[in-house]
Chains A and B, each alone.
Chain A
């Protein structure tokens, strides 16, 4: 498909476990974003990649959260020692241009994470 894909679509885990969420951006898109959306809330920015580097990690809520991107394509968001407050929908988006500044973003369907 030509859109942004994310996996898994749903993830249920126990408190204290680590989880990895994957994002496959649109081919050729150099900018990639991770957001978190809690029930009834807006999108909370987590991190932005330009190619493989992350010039803006300001939204990561704690050092339990990390992300990487390899080959200028696939990105993985890792949450260590998950807590119940981490339960949310994690959305990935990509955009075309090298600037990545406020361009139109194309979103994936999200990963619904539930921490028990």
Chain B
């Protein structure tokens, strides 16, 4: 079955450092992958989409990579700020055409 794995342990980093979150998928090859941010008590908010033919995508301080050989996407936040603290969900497109969401990784940026 199609499976998504994100690091379930919270990531704690110091303000100003780069945060790197990992998303691994198995048993399929998604045409694209989305990343969402979720704050406590709120619904997820779309951040970035990367297609299988794109190695890297950037948006302001965010960068996403997509390695179809490793079956992995990395999500980077440079110059992190306490306001970046949230849970980040990856969502590759499944073979049936719908997004499959990972469980998310919680990022805590300390001032």
Contact residue range for chain A? 20 to 34
Contact B43 A42 (CB under 8 A): no
Partner of A41, one of B42, B43, B99, B103: B103
B98 A107 Cβ-Cβ under 8 A: no
B77 interfacial by beta-carbon distance below 8 Å: no
* A to B contact number (C-beta, < 8 Å): 54
Chain A contact surface mostly: loop
B31 at the interface (CB under 8 A from A): yes
CA distance A31 to B92 in the complex (A): 18
With A102-B31, A107-B43 already in contact, the answer to whether A45 and B98 are too (CB < 8 A) is yes
The answer for the CA separation of A4 and B42 in the assembled complex, in Å, is: 12
Bound Cα distance from A106 to B93, whole angstroms: 16
B residues contacting A by CB (< 8 A) are 4, 6, 8, 31-32, 34, 41-46, 49, 89, 93, 96-104
21 A/B residue pairs, CB under 8 Å, sorted by A: A41-B103, A42-B101, A42-B103, A43-B44, A43-B89, A45-B98, A45-B101, A93-B43, A101-B93, A101-B97, A101-B98, A102-B93, A102-B97, A104-B34, A104-B49, A105-B44, A105-B46, A105-B99, A109-B41, A109-B42, A110-B41
